[in-house]
Structure 1
Amino acid sequence: MSDLGSTASDIYRNVLSVIEGVEPRIAAATRAELTDQRASLKLIASENYASLPVLMTMGTWFSDKYAEGTIGHRFYAGCQNVDTVESVAAEHARELFGAEYAYVQPHSGIDANLVAYWSILAHRVESPVLERLGAKNVNELSEDDWETLRKSFAEQRVMGMSLDVGGHLTHGFRPNISGKMFHQRSYGTNAETQLIDYDKLLADARAFKPLILVAGYSAYPRRVNFAKMREIADEVGATLFVDMAHFAGLVAGKVFTGEEDPVPYAHLVASTTHKSLRGPRGGFVLATPEYAPSVDRGCPMVLGGPLSHIMAAKAVAFAEARTDSFRDYAAKVADNAKVLAEGLLKRGATLVTGGTDNHLVLIDTGSFGITGRQAESALLDSGIVTNRNSVPNDPNGAWYTTGVRIGTPALTSRGFGADEFDKVAELIVDVLANTTATTTAAGTPGKAKYTLADGVADRTKAASAELLDANPLYPGLAVS
């Protein structure tokens, strides 16, 4: 993060002063959030720190403008400046990822995934029905034909990575809308290596014959061969959809290239703009030309009015990601993750897949005799912010879990390098090794309550403070 000096400080002090005049509690909470983020080791793999230019871009009068529709074809008048914003953001996204088409309206990663799913349904299910019936759109269908189309939508199949081996809720998990939209089947990993078994995946896909094959992950600490995923999709007649929300920054930064870059192989790619990409909270979709017309109807097909101020911030973030400095950052994110994993392993921690080659590490907390929830809470007590996560065949389920997911994007943004991440590994193991599950009334280990040995939290916070003080967040920025 660069030091923007007194200019940014003056801006934020004035902004918070204005907010304080209306609702002082919000101004106070905003200041407190910066203080808390500065004082903690943020290791949540899906979080980062947006640059000050990105943050400032979100707070403008673009927030006041409705702009349903697409560039040059809005359902509201006076959208010429929104057209500029969306055009610039889409241009940067195409150039950054080498994509033929980019859609930057989705409000979140889940929204982006829903746009992708329904675009596939529109292209592969709805369009053939309309063509067969000689109709231009669904409004021209008779009631009987409309019912036939609706039933066709409901009979489609999706196949994605299982939640407990690193997939995401939106990859067909039944409690999520994606699991309710489709007939769903998950693919897992090899029981011994915990890596994707592409031969098994192919066999399962041949048997299930999904319309959509989903690749990508939320907590899988390895890279994916997207060339193989495309071969599998092509063999079974599926559309390959990649969710790269977690690793978009590694794609943008050219850490993932060749067969590890999803864009040349996928029909559609969806992502968030935060996480490893370090932009505002939002989403986007990349697509091949055949799917572009369907994706372009994301609003009103799935989305409401686009958030123009967020699209503007996406444009700034994409522009930042096209720089050499961002490529250097992305490379450090991956390098730091390896150091973090090695530091944990040499101190006795057990890691899912035995390590990492992306930006995240998944600790199996069962080796410490505690659940993921207990580990997450004990680490938070010690100033280390993580999130609990399922591990393969997790005995404690998705709520308590037996894992903790950690990532390097945020602390790398603060300037942490190899020495700092090795120290972070030491602190994590010290906390987990000194956390004990509290037994229940029946005398069995509980899943939520725990005891942290005396003095551990204080010494961890003191050691963390030295690391954090040497790598300040938004250096030079003073808001009070």
Structure 2
Amino acid sequence: MAFKQSLEQIDPNTAEAIDLERERQESTLGMIASENHVSKAVLEAQGSVLTNKYAEGYPGGRYYGGCQHVDTVEELAIERAKELFGVDHVNVQPHSGTQANMGVYFSVLEPGDKILSLSLSHGGHLSHGHNVNFSGQLYDVEQYEVDPETGYIDYDELESHAREFDPDIVVSGSSAYPREFEYDRIGDIADAVDAYHLADIAHVTGLIAAGVHESPVEHAEFVTGSTHKTIRAGRGGIIMCDEEFADDVDSAVFPGAQGGPLMHSVAGKAAGFAEAETDEFQSYAVQTIANANTLADEFDDRGLSLVSGGTDKHLMLVDLRDSHPDITGEEAEELLSDVGIIVNKNTVPGETRSPMVTSGIRVGTPALTTRGFGEKEMKTVADLIVDVLDNPEDEDVHDRAASTVEHLCQEFPIYG
């Protein structure tokens, strides 16, 4: 009977692809800053029978029967998030960080309203108003940039820009800005022009939950985030806001932007948030930043140029134009992938190449820290990266790097 057959029995091709992906993750060093490895508990929650249940609406107010147990799961996720972040209201139904941002925009903006946000090429995100994204198509968007000399946001310039543009909402947050945002300053700027402040903490959700990164909660009406980068609660999004905006946000998510929530993903969030409450997670967050600082220091010692000169969090942006002008970000990504180190090409401030080629790479530490890497291992990885980039055609160097990667993966298995 097909219904009771295993995945391997009913669909061996998909089963094989999943097995190969698990093998790929186990046998390579994942250094994409937006990726991590969830625990067995989160995998179990996300692969549960909750995938069968429709639950349109919110706990205690569903449009379907039989929701008493999924209500419990969603309430657990909400209450744990409130405790972790110290917020009034939480919506855990967004399917991603982008849809979390959509929920905020839909709750307080009308088409044509103004958004001021960080430029994508300077570290921002598509959902902050890029013209290929819904946010750039529905709203009037202008974007601020980092200082080309320092790599830091110039908050005086941002304030002047805000006063001139008069936005309805100011967005802080990024996908490739290696420094902490001055949330208090941005909140004051937004207040001065009678705008809302949306803080998108997609990359630093876990670091903020652990208290090792500045929180925007006291300085922003809305805080959005992803639940799969530094907090390890499975792929998804979250919206946090002041109580006065709760009804509008909830309505914007459902029925405004989504139908039935993915209750198995909500269960993953509940389990991941429970993990984030532990002392072990606190230590993980501290180590994630320590590993990033070690990596940045070693890169600097070996001659790589880092945007802003370093990092305050879990990621750094390597600008190859000075140290390796003949290697594009795309080529660097491929060279490193060939030896088992997975990073992503990334635009850098002042970028002249296309987003599919780029002049930089983004490097992150969340996944390696989950595997158990410490500063010693990060120094080794940093040297491997620079060795490969310094010797793009030397097969002996690449073979030695691949062998070291294999050894590290065996020493620090993910699920083994």
Report TM bin, short chain.
over 0.9
Partners of 1:457 and 1:23 in 2: CA distance: 37
Which of 248, 251, 276 matches 1:294? 248
Which of 335, 339, 354 matches 2:309? 354
The code of the aligned residue for 1:305 comes to: G
How far apart are 1:93 and its partner, in Å?
0.6
Partners of 1:214 and 1:397 in 2: CA distance: 25
Which of 423, 430, 433 matches 2:387? 430
1:172 is aligned to 2:113 = no
**Residue 67 of structure 1 corresponds to which residue in structure 2?**
55
How far apart are 1:467 and its partner, in Å?
1.9
**Residue 268 of structure 1 corresponds to which residue in structure 2?**
222
Give the unaligned 5+ runs of structure 1. Answer: 1-15, 122-152, 436-451, 476-480
TM-score by length of 1: 0.84
Contact 1:321 1:327 in 2 (8 A): yes
Partners of 2:233 and 2:334 in 1: CA distance: 28
**Residue 318 of structure 1 corresponds to which residue in structure 2?**
273
How far apart are 1:405 and its partner, in Å?
0.2
Give the unaligned 5+ runs of structure 2. Answer: none
Aligned residues between the structures: 410
**Residue 78 of structure 1 corresponds to which residue in structure 2?**
66
Partners of 1:358 and 1:465 in 2: CA distance: 27
1:29 is aligned to 2:20 = no
**What whole-Å deviation, never above 9, does each CA across 1:408-449 have from its counterpart, x for those lacking one?**
0000000000010011110001111122xxxxxxxxxxxxxx
**What whole-Å deviation, never above 9, does each CA across 1:265-304 have from its counterpart, x for those lacking one?**
1101111110111111111100001111111111110112
Which of 340, 363, 375 matches 2:332? 375
How far apart are 1:263 and its partner, in Å?
1.4
How far apart are 1:201 and its partner, in Å?
0.2
1:471 is aligned to 2:416 = no
Task: Look up the SS of the partner of 2:101 in the other structure.
Answer: helix
Contact 1:383 1:457 in 2 (8 A): no
1:40 is aligned to 2:28 = yes
Task: Look up the SS of the partner of 1:196 in the other structure.
Answer: coil
How far apart are 1:363 and its partner, in Å?
0.7
Q: Matched residues, percent identical? A: 45
In angstroms, what is the RMSD of aligned CA positions?
Answer: 1.2
Task: Look up the SS of the partner of 2:355 in the other structure.
Answer: helix
Which of 370, 378, 393 matches 1:421? 378
The code of the aligned residue for 1:276 comes to: T
The code of the aligned residue for 2:291 comes to: N
**Residue 196 of structure 1 corresponds to which residue in structure 2?**
153
**What whole-Å deviation, never above 9, does each CA across 1:230-271 have from its counterpart, x for those lacking one?**
000000011000111101111011101xxx211121101111
The code of the aligned residue for 2:55 comes to: A
Closer/same/farther in 2, CA of residues 349 and 155 from structure 1, 3 Å limit: same
Partners of 1:118 and 1:453 in 2: CA distance: 53
**Residue 284 of structure 1 corresponds to which residue in structure 2?**
238
Which of 346, 353, 365 matches 1:396? 353
How do residues 1-20 of structure 1 correspond to structure 2 at under 5 angstroms? 18-20=6-8
Partners of 1:20 and 1:118 in 2: CA distance: 42
How far apart are 1:155 and its partner, in Å?
2.7
TM-score by length of 2: 0.97
Partners of 1:21 and 1:466 in 2: CA distance: 34
Task: Look up the SS of the partner of 1:264 in the other structure.
Answer: helix
Partners of 2:216 and 2:259 in 1: CA distance: 28
How far apart are 1:181 and its partner, in Å?
1.3
How far apart are 1:44 and its partner, in Å?
0.3
The higher radius of gyration belongs to 1
**Greater Cα shift, 422-431 or 452-461:** 452-461
Which of 331, 340, 344 matches 1:387? 344
The code of the aligned residue for 1:296 comes to: D
